[in-house]
A = this chain, B = another copy of it.
Amino acid sequence: MRKRVTLKQLAAELNLSISTVSKSLKNDPEISQETIERVKKLAKEKNYRPNALAVSLKSSKTMSIGVIVPDILNNFFAKVLLGIEKEATKNNYKIVTCISSESYQKELDYLDMLSYNGVDGFILAASQESQTKDLFEHFNDILKDDIPIVMFDRVVEDVYCDKVIVNDKQSSEDAIDKLVASGCKKIGIVSNIQKLSVGLERLEGAEKALAKYGMTTEILKLKKKDEFEDQISKFIEEYNFDAILGLDETSAVSAINAAQILDKKIPNDIQIIGFTDGILSKHSYPKLTTISQNASKMGEEAARILIDKLELRAERYLPETKVIKTKIIERGTTK
């Protein structure tokens, strides 16, 4: 069994003091070239690496970012995580990932734990519970401790921090525009995320666009307990839609299946557009036309903003809100 080597041990073996060894490793000009080389040689031999804990304790910087996501099974969040990871790694930061499972309590616990574990900053999306119950003081508490937070996607209006969002409202307007342009007369909205800030935004955009064309907004809010396909096929039959806008990926894909059940041809009898360019969109039949939120880019952006803030600590600056542009990816469910 190997033993991790410390400065102390190197010093002993070299007959030098700990400080000399430490300085040598940092190429301190105070130390003679000869000594530096001697030290480095042994350090390399023994595979010396500074104990990150000790360094952090001293410098009160851990080079780590706490990331809290509501649901890791959600492809969107997974992608964002990937983006964060990429950018963080590039800048020598590591990430500590926690999953709030949409629970306020877990979110709070993690915030607390991570802050006492010394993460340098947070990147997070609020849990559903925090959003619906309008709980956000726990975020402010962290900010008060001077630990920066960057929120993404599920942001909280009342928390004064950096944010990265997507122009959800505009996107669903665009989607409706597109559907109308291709001849749709009766468009239905299906949502499985009624309670989320993003769900509201998207709905608002759709309503606005629909109104513009003198169309009424018919929305189906999916109920967890029943089969989505059944709920949607009834909805389609009732109104005889020629297009469906799914406010999230699951709704849209379920709408595809519902259309199949009703034996409607996609995209001829009915067109479908969804949100979130996840794994489902690419594996449905036909493949789903969807609004991509550039999840990975969102993550990168969030990490970049946080790291900038961390490194440029010197100057206080105002929180910014970065809007990531969506793009519509046309596949088989639209004409």
Query: Which residues of A are at the interface with B, using a C-beta cutoff of 8 A?
Result: 1-4, 49-54, 56-57, 62, 64, 72-73, 75, 78-79, 81-82, 85, 94-99, 112-114, 116-118, 144-146, 250, 253-254, 256-257, 260-261, 279-280, 283-285
Contacts and interface: CB of A to CB of B under 8 A. Distances in A.
Nearest to A4: B145
Contact of A98 (B52, B94, B279): B94
Contacts of A254: 283
B73 A82 contact: yes
A145 B284 CA distance: 47
Given A96-B94, A144-B2, A53 B49 contact: no
A78 B82 contact: no
Contacts of A112: 49
B285 A260 contact: yes
A123 to B, nearest CB: 13
Contacts of A257: 283, 285
Closest CB pairs A-B (n = 8): A257-B285, A97-B97, A52-B117, A53-B57, A2-B144, A49-B116, A253-B283, A72-B78
A90 to B, nearest CB: 12
A290 to B, nearest CB: 14
Contacts of A280: 279-280, 283
Contacts of A256: 285
B85 A81 contact: no
A137 to B, nearest CB: 13
Contact of A116 (B51, B72, B81, B260): B51
Nearest to A249: B283
B57 A279 contact: no
Given A118-B52, A118-B53, A95 B97 contact: yes
A53 B116 CA distance: 8
B49 A1 contact: no
